[in-house]
């Protein structure tokens, strides 16, 4: 599926267990909002493109984000769907690597954009919030590692 294929009947659930749902509670999400940039994008808008430098991670407040890659023929395909309460872009930001996929608004979306500077401010001013963020990031990495391991084991058995 590409951005051109977006329609009202698109599923709103995530396609795989790749993205962890965060639950910070009202106080913590308010602290993040105080320091982060809130963004609203229309369906079809690109958030970042494969190969871009990683300058931020994002929390989905409303809507749906598509994670897109190109297959061996260069055709864009959706590999995951990220919904409200989930985050993306963490690994690229923390590892300072180029984006491995393109992300785009699958529906109108409201995001919180969190940069390294935002994380540094939260460390100083909201230490309990940054601990919660790091726990979610650790859980995300663990989930991704387990998924990759499972896929590798499936490949080895075929």
Report the CATH number at residue 35. 2.60.120.10
Distance CA 45, CA 42 (A): 6
Distance CA 46, CA 76 (A): 13
Q: Is the pTM of this model over 0.75?
A: yes
Structural domain range at position 13: 3-157
Give the tens place of pLDDT for each residue, 82-127. 999 888 998 888 888 999 999 999 999 999 999 999 999 999 998 8
Distance CA 66, CA 1 (A): 10
CA 4 to each of CA 43, 77, 78, 106: distance values in angstroms, whole numbers, following the listed order: 10, 11, 11, 10
**pLDDT score of 147 more than 80:** no
* Counted domains in the chain: 1
Token look-up 């809507």 returns 63
- Residue 55 confidence class, pLDDT cut points 50, 70, 90: very high
């Amino acid at each position: 599926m590409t951005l051109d294929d977006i329609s009202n009947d698109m599923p709103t659930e995530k396609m795989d267990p790749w993205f962890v749902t965060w639950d910070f509670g009202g106080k913590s999400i308010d602290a993040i909002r105080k320091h982060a940039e809130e963004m609203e994008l229309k369906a079809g808008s690109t958030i970042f493109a494969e190969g871009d430098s990683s300058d931020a991670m994002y929390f989905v407040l409303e809507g749906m984000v598509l994670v897109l890659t190109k297959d061996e023929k260069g055709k864009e395909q959706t590999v995951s769907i990220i919904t409200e309460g989930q985050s993306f872009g963490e690994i690229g930001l923390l590892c300072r690597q180029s984006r491995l996929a393109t992300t785009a608004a699958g529906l109108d979306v409201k995001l919180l954009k969190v940069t390294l500077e935002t994380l540094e401010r939260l460390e100083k001013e909201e230490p309990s919030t940054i601990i919660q963020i790091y726990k979610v990031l650790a859980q995300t990495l663990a989930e991704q590692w387990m998924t990759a391991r499972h896929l590798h084991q499936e490949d080895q058995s075929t």
